[in-house]
Amino acid sequence: MVGSVSSINSANKTNTKSIRQKTIDKGQQGLILGAGIGAIEGYTRKSWLKNDKPNDTFVKQVSKEMEKTLEPKEKSELTKVNKFFEALLDYRTEPDELRQRIEKSSELSNAIIKKEGETTEVALDRIFKQDKPELKKELRHLQERTVVDKKANIYAAKNLVKKNFNKETKSFEKANETSKEAFALIKKSIKKTRIKTAVKDTIVGGILLGIGGMLIGANELSKKQKQQKVK
């Protein structure tokens, strides 16, 4: 009798382990399947579009690719320009710091509008005599007058994207005035956007179907345990 009970318990444990392993297996299968589906769907769909137009995330990616084409000196100047405008937008920044940033950047210095006969220094003396609110208001227009910013800023990227986007086909086609090098930046941005989306969808798809598989396995385990209790 003892041997019989022992055999039943052993069989129950074996069945339980078997179902638990099935639960894990189903979870793993769901994870792999979900990841595969997510990767394919994420890479193939036009994730750079929103409402049938190139979205802001894609434009930013194009801008980043444009920045990479700059010469080392231009990159250094672009960094100075961007840092200047970060400081300009910060209410804690004092005029003296803004002037120092302008003087250390050839791009910003050259963007200063000078009256006839004025040097950059004299022009800065005149501009910085204004009250802080008026001063910051005038300096906001400085960025759009820099040469390097026009080569890689968001507006330049938007312009490049707009010129080469076909609204009818919802796809990119090289415009006559766009160079091969510039259009290559768009194609590179599309590829990178696809990869990022594929990675994201791989994770999401894997998790969702992985959980689904685990739930199916867990449900089978629960049913088996209930059947054993009835017996």
DSSP classification of residue 144: G
**Predicted confidence band at 46 (pLDDT cuts at 50, 70, 90)?**
low
Distance of CA 25 to the CA centre of its chain: 34
pLDDT at 107: 94
Average pLDDT, the chain: 74
Contacts 24+ apart (CB under 8 A), 72-81: 74/148, 74/151, 77/105, 77/106, 77/107, 77/146, 77/148, 78/107, 78/148, 78/149, 78/152, 80/104, 80/105, 80/107, 80/108, 81/105, 81/107, 81/108, 81/143, 81/146, 81/148, 81/149
Residue with tokens 């990227």: 157
Q: Mind listing the pLDDT tens digit for each residue in 67-114?
A: 899 999 999 999 999 899 999 999 899 999 999 999 999 999 999 999
- For residue 92, give Cα distances in angstroms to 83, 88, 89: 14, 9, 9
Q: Where do the structural domains in the chain lie, given as residue ranges? A: 21-52+167-231, 71-153
d(CA 35, CA 54) in angstroms, rounded, equals 26
- In tens, the pLDDT along 172-230 reads 899 999 989 989 988 888 888 776 764 454 444 444 444 444 444 444 444 444 444 44
